[in-house]
Structure 1
Amino acid sequence: MKTRSLFLSLLFSTLFITVNAQSLGEFKEQYAGQRSKKLKDSQKKIYIAQFKTNYEVYKDASSYKAKGMFGGGNAKAKLALALDSINPLDLQNMTNELFIDFKDQLIAQGFEIVTADAASKADSYADYQRMEGGELIPTDVPGFVSVTPVGHSYFVKGLDKNGVEKKKYSLVGDPDLKMNKKVAKDLGNIIVAKVDLFLMFSDQKQGWSPGGAKVKIKTNLRMVGATTVTAEKKKGLRFKGAYTSHPIKSSISFIDQKGNYFEGTLKKPLEVNGVLEKETIKVSQSNGIYKGTTSFSYATPDMETTKRSYQTVKVDPSQYAQGAKMAMKKFMKFHVNAFVWNANGGK
């Protein structure tokens, strides 16, 4: 009996440690917007035009250095990392739960949620395609997967040949925000919301080593504010070492027909601790000779300058889901409360 009691005690102690292993780093919020307190003049109705969670599951990085004037050859280092054992169902369930929480927070504050059926009557959506949420969808940000919640219908300009939702473009500002302003007017001066959340696990540092190229990536799970994802350019007109840039930002925004809006984001990344071990992986190449060092496993030297070093980053799927959800829930709850304060005229 004592042995059984000791076993149960140890078991529950282990479970307690595991369940509580995830924690968040410092939360530093940031705001943008204009005349946000005038949102109180709008109807207390909100249409959620966009709601997506975005997860980095793969990182493909490269660095190139041309041969020097005193000899030597071109140097190119390439490194690919992938999260191992991420469960797509966990990502979907997380997104569904966050979407329900978001709506419940707004309803609790006296807002009515406008349905997609009602929003479909907006003139601005006349040529748009209605999409039904509840799946993982492709994105044009390399290495990321986007997830839309079950029960969320939204409108897009269409899909490209790869099934990626076509984006609106604007020389200045967020094109979605400008579109949402028009929809708010079409639907009788309501408020239109957008939620876009991004989690990253890689932190890339590109540089050079004497006579060669080097890629250095640190594993660090975090929710990011405004940042840029870079990737090797593989299509169209390009030169050696060219890359593409993809700006991303975790944000929650609300806008009315007059352009009064509130946006909440992060001033610094919100780190999720207790999920990934923070490790640095380096790959360098000098004079056409490939060298690889990694704290996860040893890379195999190879004379082929274009060969990629591929590594998987071990992660417990349940810990990942719990940590990611903690970060996104904290972000949403904080900024919804801030929006409500503004929408009530600062009261």
Structure 2
Amino acid sequence: MKKLLFSISLICLTLSLSAQSIGNLKTTNKKWAFKTMKKASKRIYINSFNVNFEVYKEAIDFKAGGNGGRIGGNTSSATAKAAVGLSGIDGKLMQEKTNLLYKNYMKKLEDAGYEIITTEEVAKVDAIKDWDKTTGPNLIENLTGIITCVPENYTFYHKKKGFFGLGWNIQPKLAKQLGNVIVADVNLYVIFSESGNDWMKGRAAKVKIKTNLRLAGEYAITIPQKFKEKKSTLGKLFGSVKIKGASDVHRVNSNIAFYDQVQANYTGSLKEDLEINDIVKKQKIVAYQKQGSFVPTSFTTFSNYLDAKADRYSTTTKWIEVDGDKYAQGFYNACNAFLENQLDEILPKLK
């Protein structure tokens, strides 16, 4: 009896410690026309199951120089670049946790009485004719610093341009051509960085990255644009012009969605980011570069002028060591809590 009580206590303690690694889950739901979704068959097609996690972040700021006249003087251009990455993440563990998330998701659907539509059946519909097919397990960097994990034995179709080419508004077409079924999507983003602002930087370039590991609700992934040298004279003259310090922006959010053939849908997302605690310490990584300046006087020389006008550049790079086991477990806890919550919310409404 004592052994049994000890075992139960140990299990409860383990569950408690596991639950403590994430913050409070707060979700928001958008739902339309549940009546039509209830008329759909008890068959479901999993159109996407994307679990993404961030391992590296870069940010850049550029301050252009110029001529401020006798009072302002001449100023140089300044560039500040900061980068931070996580080391210690175990790719094998991340794949295992993603596999488990998918397994849990499938079981929930099957326990609710749904039949999962096979890949072979989906291949026959016109909506995805000539699309590519990918089967997990797989870890791939779709965006700089963002790793997408594909569950083992999960197959999905996508346009030839890549994993993000799942097609706009394809779900109702699939639902109809598969015989009035439910089409489901899952997109999860575990992010560790945040962009900080500093409007009082004066004559300087400054960039700030804050660390905060979480399952992100809405987030803008910013990636500094890369500049390529134009090899030909014509290319140098007529090549595309980019602004220094510019970044590409990719807006993402963690969500779970269900669709039917008449575009009725349910979308569950996070009202607030779900923090994953005690794995990545919160800190700031800052790069700062002041502009050079030159105001002519009787004591200045031409070399003073050249030195002040030269472009200035500052960079800060930091790697943060994390415990691979704790990271994978926190990642799983947050993603699974959200998936469980949303399935418990929607499945009873579809009966």
Aligned to 1:332: 339
Q: Is the 8 A contact 1:158 1:166 kept in 2?
A: no
Count of matched residue positions in the alignment of Structure 1 and Structure 2: 306
Counting only pairs closer than 5 Å after superposition, residues 127-276 of structure 1 correspond to structure 2 as 127-139=130-142, 141-159=143-161, 164-165=162-163, 167=165, 175=168, 178-208=169-199, 209-234=201-226, 236-276=240-280
Task: Give ranges in structure 2 of 5+ residues lacking alignment.
Answer: 1-9, 228-239, 294-309
SS of the residue 1:246 aligns to: strand
The C-alpha deviation readout for 1:68-123, integer Å capped at 9, x for no partner, is 63232212110111101111111111110000000001111111111111111111
How far did 1:150 drift?
Answer: 0.5
Instruction: Report sequence identity in percent.
Output: 33
How far did 1:309 drift?
Answer: 2.1
Aligned to 1:9: none
Shift in CA distance, 267/37, structure 1 to aligned 2, threshold 3 Å? farther
Counterparts of 2:165 and 2:272, CA distance in 1? 26
Q: Which AA in structure 2 matches 1:273?
A: N
Q: Which AA in structure 2 matches 1:144?
A: I
Give the root-mean-square deviation of aligned CA atoms. Answer: 2.4
TM-score for the superposition, normalised by structure 1 = 0.82
Q: Which AA in structure 1 matches 2:345?
A: A
Q: Is the 8 A contact 1:37 1:342 kept in 2?
A: no
How far did 1:341 drift?
Answer: 2.7
Aligned to 1:309: 316
Comparing 30-39 with 114-123, which one deviates more in the overlay? Answer: 30-39
Aligned to 1:72: 75
Counterparts of 1:261 and 1:326, CA distance in 2? 26
Shift in CA distance, 90/304, structure 1 to aligned 2, threshold 3 Å? farther
Shift in CA distance, 35/81, structure 1 to aligned 2, threshold 3 Å? same
Q: Is the 8 A contact 2:87 2:321 kept in 1?
A: yes
Runs of 4+ in 1 over 3 A off after TM superposition: 15-22, 303-308
TM-score for the superposition, normalised by structure 2 = 0.81
How far did 1:137 drift?
Answer: 1.8
Q: Which AA in structure 1 matches 2:195?
A: Q
How far did 1:256 drift?
Answer: 0.7
SS of the residue 1:90 aligns to: helix
Q: Is the 8 A contact 1:63 1:207 kept in 2?
A: no
Comparing 97-106 with 309-318, which one deviates more in the overlay? Answer: 309-318
Larger radius of gyration: 2
Task: Give ranges in structure 1 of 5+ residues lacking alignment.
Answer: 1-11, 170-174, 290-302
Q: Which AA in structure 2 matches 1:89?
A: K
Q: Which AA in structure 1 matches 2:180?
A: N
